[in-house]
Structure 1
Amino acid sequence: MCDLFPQDMLEKNLVSLKKQRDSVKHRLKKLAARQSEITKKSTAIKENVVRKYQEIQTVLEEDLRITLSHLEMEERAAVSALDGLMERNCVLIQELERDLARLSLTLEQSDAEPDTMSLFSHCELDNKETADRVLDVLNQLDPSSVSLDEAKANQILSLTNSMLHLVCSQTPIMKKLLKSYSSEVHLDPETAHPKLIISPKSDSVSYTDTCQNLPDQPGRFDITLNVISMQGFSFGRHYWEIDVTGKTYWELGVTYPSFPRKGTSEDCWLGRGDGSWCVEFFDGEYTAWHGGVPHQLPFTKHFCRIGILCSFPAGLVTFIEADNMMPLFSFCAGTFSECLHLALCPGHDHSGTNSGPIVICNASSPTSDL
């Protein structure tokens, strides 16, 4: 086979580079189209969710309007009945006032008239009739005879309370969804720093001031107080909740198995290198870390449970306050190059305030990838 002339080689390379460029351009167009498609789908999903919430709100507002209208009708009926009774009382008072005036006039006249016996007899008869009428009115106009339907009111309150419990049981909606992604994990004792104690069930880790006599496994952290999970995940969506109640210092996150474990390099700290993502709590402040870049978080409350969501389809790592499902911080990580392991750091004793364990709140059973 004859050798190609330099000119021919250059032309061949030129053609090859053009093909490669065209391939990359074509892929770039596909990526841009996919990006546009995802944006449109996400917008449509959010709009549908908003509409459903608005429909729920409309149904509740209409039901509230109907319920209040029934209560108001009953209130108007009771008030109207009491108005009628009060009017009868007012009429009776006017009649009594007239009788009092007439009796006062009669008394004045009795001083001037000698024949008073017939007059007193007549007055006594009138007084008895008035007393009977007053007694009759008082018996008929007992205020307690008019009342609201308390049985119905109690039933309405019971039904609305049941509705409230039902709504509360379904919200936050994300709690049920994320729980469906729960994946059981166990801590790997062979990766734990010698000053970390792993529970017998491998579901919690705590710090001890005494360095344990443990074999120096290649995967064991020797400086940073870290431990990672035995299980790694490379596809699907996974969610874990970590109990940090009473802790004053901790770090939680996910990491590649290639995460450095030996020496004092900053890369051995969670979130300081490109192979891990974490949220740190120290001295009342929360900080999210990745690639050595800190993100100060605007929270001061001591949270009890932290959720970690890892979504391979979305290239997402999200940290959540698990009780209310409030997002704390999200890393848009893109495409993960390795499988991911849960990583925990319970922190040092922190002047005696940080002795409690970090506990993984494992699901009752592993959940398949969705």
Structure 2
Amino acid sequence: MMNANISQVASIEYISFQHVFSLVKWIMFEAEHLETLKMHLETLRKQLEDLIKFKSNEEKKSEELRDEAESKRQKIESEFEELHQFLIKEKQILLSRLEEEEKKILQRIRDSVTQLDTQIFSLTQLISEIGEKIEKSPQPATELLKDVKDAMSRCPEPEAVSVDLKMGSALNYIQQLKELITKLGDRWMEWWMECIKYAVDVTIDPETAHPILELSADRKSVSRGFIDRDLPDNPERFDTNWSVLGVEGFTSGRHYWEVEVEDGWRLGVCKDSVRRKGRGQWIHPSPQEGYWVLQLWYGEYSALTSPETSLSHRKRPQVLGIFLDYEAGKVSFYNADNKVLLFTFTDIFTEKLRPFFYTYNETPLRIRPVAAWE
């Protein structure tokens, strides 16, 4: 009996062990799959984050595209409005000339008609007199014929008034203007392709920056701060003029770059050897000092020649284009928005030239990438 009980207990224990083993195995199986599920869930979450980020980037690109399209739309409208106003002005000038010419000719015609009325009246009287003489005069026919010839000689042949408006030159001018606009468009395109071809990636050299200037982390913009920073007084650094140079140096070739501007700036190129230390006295940039620079100073444009050359431009550039042709000895400045030439320096270059920046404005001067034709 006791053996039967022991056998029964052993059987129960075996069943319990099997049950526990199966349960543990199931738990481990579930845990393993749970971990796998968690890994898949994490992967899905990352995919979701990536999709959200991608969507955000696409929406941002869409917004940037709309902004860029609107900016270009306004630019196109502005440029064509300016051209339209110019053509309206030229049209008014030509129409005024036409009206003036028309008035002159009409007055000559009126004067001629008045003179013809007088001649007609005189001739009518003469005809009447001659008719009476033929009928009543006892004069011989030869004498009477002589009187008639004398009377006829007093009536000159009438001259027709020319109605030529003489506007051929004006019409030629219109045709020439149309051809000029077409040629200018072609020349602008050729010039712009040259600029793109010789575009350089200019960066600002912090070792040359006056301590009051603040530079961006990417070394693409500079603005005036409020206090001098504590910087090493190395030989390359400007200590009086609020100036800074580009890292790049040019000893040959053609080079083009653009700078976004507002007010209060001097931009161009200078010799690498220009004096950096004013020791409290301002250095006045000029070609004699090794600077070829354009400035906007209190709303007035000028080229820093010696003496200064005042420039008058109706449209203030928002982006200044600088084109250096080293071998030709030329530094040209353009309104990069409408491709208009502002000024060109001509000189002989014999040493390294570097991009030059000066600002007294808190709004940054920013070097921007040269874009394709807009």
Report the TM-score range of the alignment, normalised by the length of the smaller protein.
Answer: 0.3 to 0.5
Structure with more of its chain in helix, by fraction: 2
Q: Which of 1 and 2 has greater Rg?
A: 2
